[in-house]
């Protein structure tokens, strides 16, 4: 794991943060409410996105919407973060249904800014990581309108789309993932050794891996 970096100055962007999951492999807990250094992953992600230049953030909730939205309200009250909460009424339809709901909410803002799609359960992600992705997006070949990191040939997150691609996804009737797969000519791979982009929390063993990498402990949320 590489050491901390300073966030690069990049263009502003809109952010979509996914926090609707069931956490089934972790015993059905809201992974975004895992705590490290007395902060939830949700708060850490929002702080990192704002520091990296997010002009506004849409957060999609679903399973465990009540405690997750309570935490979002607390975050907004504490720091005045520009958050919009979108609740997925059918989170059992999977992550891609949450992506489409979030993109639709961002499309209503009629912004020309790119869209960064992030996961709330990536505990190693920092502002500098988001900035490096946006910097790679800024430097991409102009015909490539979708950017995501690739670490040791493994696809990572976040994904960044132009505002036009976002609208094409919504008009296509496809999921965002399927749209990207069907348009490989639009994809630019941000090749990097930064393993922050491929580390997320799925099972209890990942909590141990996080502690081994950082020396910090991820605590499960209270029932």
Q: With respect to residue 4, please indicate whether it lies within any of the assigned structural domains.
A: no
CA-CA distance, 148 to 187, in Å (whole number)? 8
Q: With respect to residue 135, please indicate whether it lies within any of the assigned structural domains.
A: yes
**CATH of residue 174:** 3.90.550.10
Q: With respect to residue 1, please indicate whether it lies within any of the assigned structural domains.
A: no
Model pTM?
Answer: 0.93
User: How does DSSP classify residue 85?
Assistant: E
Q: With respect to residue 219, please indicate whether it lies within any of the assigned structural domains.
A: no
Q: How many domains, in total, are found in the chain?
A: 1
Does the N-terminal peptide bond of residue 121 adopt cis geometry, omega within 30 degrees of 0? Answer: no
Q: What is the pLDDT of residue 80?
A: 81
Give the closest residue to 45 by CA, choosing from 129, 162, 114, 134.
129
One DSSP character per residue, 117-137 reads EEETT-TT--HHHHHHHHHHH
Which domain does 64 fall in, by range?
13-213
3-state secondary structure of 205: helix
User: How does DSSP classify residue 32?
Assistant: G
Contacts (Cβ under 8 Å, ≥6 apart) of 42:
17, 19, 32, 33, 59, 68, 71, 72, 75, 120
pLDDT tens by residue, 128-183:
999 999 999 999 999 999 999 999 999 999 999 999 999 999 999 999 999 999 99
Q: With respect to residue 114, please indicate whether it lies within any of the assigned structural domains.
A: yes
Q: With respect to residue 8, please indicate whether it lies within any of the assigned structural domains.
A: no
pLDDT, tens digit only, all 223 positions of the chain:
344 444 555 789 999 999 999 999 898 999 999 999 889 999 999 999 999 999 999 999 999 999 999 999 999 998 788 899 999 999 999 999 999 999 999 999 999 999 999 999 999 999 999 999 999 999 999 999 999 999 999 999 999 999 999 999 999 999 999 999 999 999 999 999 999 999 999 999 999 999 999 999 999 886 5
Q: With respect to residue 5, please indicate whether it lies within any of the assigned structural domains.
A: no
């Amino acid at each position: 794991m590489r050491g901390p970096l300073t966030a690069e100055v990049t263009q502003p962007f809109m952010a979509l943060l996914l926090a609707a999951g069931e956490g089934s492999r972790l015993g059905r807990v809201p992974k975004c409410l895992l705590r490290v250094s007395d902060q939830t992953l949700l708060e850490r992600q929002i702080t990192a996105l704002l520091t990296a230049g997010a002009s506004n953030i849409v957060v999609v909730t679903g399973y465990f919407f009540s405690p997750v939205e309570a935490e979002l309200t607390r975050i907004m009250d504490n720091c005045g973060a520009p958050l919009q909460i979108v609740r997925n009424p059918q989170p059992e339809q999977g992550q891609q249904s949450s992506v489409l709901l979030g993109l639709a909410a961002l499309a209503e803002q009629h912004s020309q800014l790119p869209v960064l799609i992030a996961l709330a359960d990536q505990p190693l992600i920092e502002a500098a990581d988001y900035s490096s992705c946006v910097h790679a997006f800024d430097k991409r070949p102009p015909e490539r309108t979708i950017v995501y990191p690739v670490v040791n040939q493994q696809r990572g997150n976040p994904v960044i789309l132009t505002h036009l691609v976002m609208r094409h996804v919504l008009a296509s009737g496809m999921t965002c993932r399927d749209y990207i797969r069907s348009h490989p000519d639009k994809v630019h791979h941000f090749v990097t050794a930064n393993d922050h982009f491929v580390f997320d929390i799925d099972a209890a063993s990942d909590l141990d891996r996080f502690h081994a990498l950082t020396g910090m402990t991820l605590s499960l949320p209270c029932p």
